[in-house]
Amino acid sequence: MISGERIKSIRKMRGLTQKELGLAVGFDESTADIRIAQYESDNRTPKANLLNNMADELEVCPYALSEPQIETDLGLLHTLFAIEDLYGLEIKEIDGRYMLSLSAPDTKLEKALSAWCEKKENFENGEIEEEDYNLFRYSYTEASDNKSAAKVVVKRERKPLKKEAPQKKDEYWLL
């Protein structure tokens, strides 16, 4: 979920109007609601100090309002919370391990997850190389407007999957 949607969702959950939040973070009464509306619609991006002030007023962690950051444990956790909100991510403890489960209500997402799972299994079974698996992950696109997605064509020499016996080379000795 983008930050504007998160701000709006949490603001509403707290029972605040745009004007009330705007006033609480220090905007003039004449522009308080307009400024919050701009952030909620992603027409403007709040700077770090304003985002922190909004988080304080909404009584949430600043990570809950910002774009997903996965470089830290806390940032990753809040990204997972956002995925829970959007896609129904569930967490369960099974045999002392935490398992994440994603219900894919969107058929495009379900197809994408299926394709990813298949490629991962191909890689783990040695059917494709790590480079091919990574190429799939980093170049995966889905056309959202019914136009065909642009495909990246990468021509490269393929290495054999199984190691072949080394070929005997001619040897030359200098005396």
Q: What is the CATH number of the domain that holds 24?
A: 1.10.260.40
Q: Return d(Cα 17, Cα 23) in angstroms, integer.
A: 10
**Is residue 84 in a domain?**
no
Q: Return d(Cα 72, Cα 61) in angstroms, integer.
A: 14
Cut 0.75: pTM above it:
no
Span 29-41, pLDDT tens digits:
999 999 999 999 9
Q: Which amino acid is at 152?
A: V
Residue 50 · residue 75 · CB < 8 Å: no
* pLDDT at residue 5 is higher than 80: yes
* pLDDT confidence of residue 172: 44
Residue 114 token pair? 């299926």
**Is residue 122 in a domain?**
yes
Q: Return d(Cα 47, Cα 63) in angstroms, integer.
A: 13
**Is residue 135 in a domain?**
yes
Domain of residue 50, residue span:
3-67
For 66, the 3-state DSSP assignment is coil
Total domain count for the chain? 2
